[in-house]
Amino acid sequence: MTDLHALLKNAGFAEGFLLPVAPYTDWTRHRNDGVFHPNADPLAADPRSAYPWANAVLICVYPYTPYDDESLVASYYPASNRAYHAMKRLLALLKAQGIRAERADTPYREQLASYGIGSRMDNQLLYLEPYGTYCNLQGAMLALPEPVEYEPRREPKEVCDHCGLCRAVCFGAIEGDYAFDWTRCVHTYMEGDPMPETAMKQLPSLLGCMRCQSVCPKNPKETVPVPEEIRRVLDPVAVLRGNRQEAGELIGKNLAAPKRLLRQAIVLAANRNRTDALPFLLKLRETDGDRFKAELDYAISLLQNR
């Protein structure tokens, strides 16, 4: 019998949970109420019809330690890229064992929370012992040859005490008591659409925002220094100079696409008062002025008036 837990550890995950293929009633209701970003629209509400061949969902946990300075680069997306590759390795290992497996396009946090594995927090993240909210989740649908023993449902545990600290540092997305307005979360602007000026003013670091996690008293306090490579490659002026390939290796090709990374680098250079970015911004206005008009107007005007 295949030892799934040994395989997922070999692939780089800390642990994994095997769940039955079941509909996510609460999650679907929340989605229908408009709680989630439109990216959630294509996710299967009932994986039994989307993956009729599967008899289990394996959700794997890739924890990470946040940076000691999250105002430079948010630690979440480099970790998410490493987790993505861990899942690629796991899918290859499963295939080598003759097990059909596909990346699961399903709401992992909701699935774990509905089994009492981890707890939902006001910042919309999942709290999982011992990592707090500092973990990336990756899932796979499996067709296992043997009958499976699922992770038993646990007693749901309330961890968030609604202290309001995350709400106080947020830009209006966190509304308390699990209510959330995704249109006001900085992560919404990671999708590559032009940024409204309010979002540009708020953008706290390259690759999103970690404020609601850093401030949460339930999270572990350990941090690591920002790795030198991350600091060098994801410096906003380095991105403006053009280092897409190097950046892609650290955060994945999708996120390193100009519509995402370059757009943010333009804004961040201005928010950090990087006047050394001006020559690159002016050049970019000549070559890509229409595409990044809002961001370039914002950044150039801010830097020229300092």
Tokens of 219: 């999270």
Shortest CB 91 distance to ligand SF4, Å: 29
Shortest CB 174 distance to ligand SF4, Å: 5
Coil, strand, or helix at residue 79? helix
Q: Can residue 207 be called a binding residue for ligand SF4 (CB under 6 A)?
A: no
Q: Can residue 294 be called a binding residue for ligand SF4 (CB under 6 A)?
A: no
Shortest CB 47 distance to ligand SF4, Å: 27
Identity (one letter) of the amino acid at 214?
Answer: S
Smallest CA-to-CA distance from 93 within 172, 11, 164 is with 11
Residue 195: how many CA atoms within 13 Å on its side-chain side?
A: 33
Report the residue from 110, 122, 235, 295 that binds ligand SF4 according to the rule CB under 6 A: 122
Q: With contacts defined by CB under 6 A, how many residues of the chain interact with ligand SF4?
A: 24
Report the residue from 212, 250, 277, 296 that binds ligand SF4 according to the rule CB under 6 A: 212
Q: Can residue 256 be called a binding residue for ligand SF4 (CB under 6 A)?
A: no
Sign of CA dihedral 128, 133, 136, 142: positive
Shortest CB 159 distance to ligand SF4, Å: 7
Rounded CA separation 209/123 (Å) = 12
DSSP-assigned states of every residue in 175-192: EETTEE-GGGSGGGGGSS
Give CA separation, 61 vs 57, 123, 188, 211, in Å.
Answer: 13, 19, 23, 22
**Comparison of 203 and 239: residue with beta carbon closer to ligand SF4:** 203
Strands 100-103 and 135-143: antiparallel
Q: Can residue 206 be called a binding residue for ligand SF4 (CB under 6 A)?
A: no
From 9-17, 121-129, 247-255, 291-299, give the range in contact with ligand SF4 by CB under 6 A.
121-129
From 62-70, 111-119, 141-149, 183-191, give the range in contact with ligand SF4 by CB under 6 A.
183-191
**Helix axes of 261-271 and 244-251: crossing angle, nearest 10 degrees:** 100
**Comparison of 158 and 229: residue with beta carbon closer to ligand SF4:** 158
H-type helices in 124-217, by residue range? 165-169, 197-202, 211-214
- Which 148-167 positions form the footprint of ligand SF4 (CB under 6 A)? 160-166
**Comparison of 185 and 303: residue with beta carbon closer to ligand SF4:** 185
The residues near 11 (Cβ < 8 Å, ≥ 6 apart) are: 60, 86, 87, 89, 90, 93
**Comparison of 57 and 203: residue with beta carbon closer to ligand SF4:** 203
Report the residue from 13, 67, 171, 189 that binds ligand SF4 according to the rule CB under 6 A: 171
Sheet holding 56-63, edge to edge: 15-19, 56-63, 135-143, 100-103
Report the residue from 31, 109, 120, 211 that binds ligand SF4 according to the rule CB under 6 A: 211
Q: Can residue 79 be called a binding residue for ligand SF4 (CB under 6 A)?
A: no
**Comparison of 100 and 187: residue with beta carbon closer to ligand SF4:** 187
Contact residues toward ligand SF4 (CB under 6 A) are 121-123, 160-166, 169-171, 173-174, 185-187, 209, 211-212, 215-216, 218
